[in-house]
Amino acid sequence: MRIVASGDLTEVDVPCPFEPTSMWLNDDDLISMAITGSTDTITNGGFHSMALANMDLTLPAITDTVLIRAEQYWVGPDNGPVEDAFAFIVSPDRYWRIGGQIPEGTTARIFYDGRNITTGNLDPLLMRDTLDFTFREDSLVMLWRERPGSNWVEWHSSVNPLGSSTDGYGRITVDSLRVGEYTLAWRKSAVGIAEDEGDAVQWIVSPNPAHGSVTVTTEQRDVNGTMDLLDAAGRVVRSVIVMGGSVRFDLHGLEAGSYPLRFTTKAADRPNRAGTVVVE
């Protein structure tokens, strides 16, 4: 079947005499989409390398043939929601999509590499200090979501730094692999961001919803620290120094949606939630 596509969007109906369980495009990697992938028919359990996806699988004993598709996207995932947006920094470098038939008990192993060398540079933007947090490999986790638009959730995984825990090179093993999307992230703190507490600064966001700019104020006048505006993936999109009872955020260039506010005093061990800005 030959399909001709043009423009930004092409809608195609493909007749199928059975109920499909998975579907994908670009199986032969002939479309330049910053994707490399492998589609393999596997007949035996044990170790199996999906080289183009930079992923190694270990399958349990199987009694029937299985078809597995693994795609590696050489870009960060979209700004999809994260179940605990304040706890993680989501990889801006790459993510994976797994499809097909995944036997129960399958594990996946991925090598991460943020080293600035010819054979490295797979994860250079994730593997570095940021937002006053020091990067360590033992903070790396794997996030999973069922499909684009679903919440990212932390998936059970284990890290082997293969020596130094700060050189940005090692491997992460994903337990109980299933169909869906995966991305690397690193945990900024064990519990993410604190909810407003009794002694926390109370903030007022106005106007809200907002367009163009928003002002965040408090009745306290001796407030000093940093306030961040985060996207749904927990990434900082705006940051201002707080020296007094009022700050203003420029919202131009931000997509419509909800953006949590995070406030950290100079002496605080962890940030506090300061509200949410709704951008129209």
Indicate whether 107 pLDDT > 90.
yes
Domain ranges of the chain: 35-187, 204-279
Indicate whether 134 pLDDT > 80.
no
Query: H/E element holding 152?
Result: none
Report which of residues 232 and 260 the model is more confident about. Answer: 260
pLDDT of residue 91: 92
Give the fold, CATH level 3, of 35-187. Chondroitinase Ac; Chain A, domain 3 (2.60.220)
Q: Is the peptide bond before 207 cis (omega within 30 degrees of 0)?
A: yes
142 vs 144: CA distance, rounded Å:
7
Could you tell me which CATH number the domain at 204-279 has?
A: 2.60.40.3080
CB 111 within 8 A of CB 171: yes
181 vs 78: CA distance, rounded Å:
12
10 φψ region: left (φ > 0), alpha (ψ -120 to 50), beta (else): beta
Indicate whether 230 pLDDT > 80.
yes
pLDDT of residue 196: 44
Domains 35-187 and 204-279 share a fold: no
67 φψ region: left (φ > 0), alpha (ψ -120 to 50), beta (else): beta
Indicate whether 113 pLDDT > 90.
yes
Per the document, the length of the chain is: 280
Nearest to 276 by CA among 232, 241, 244: 232
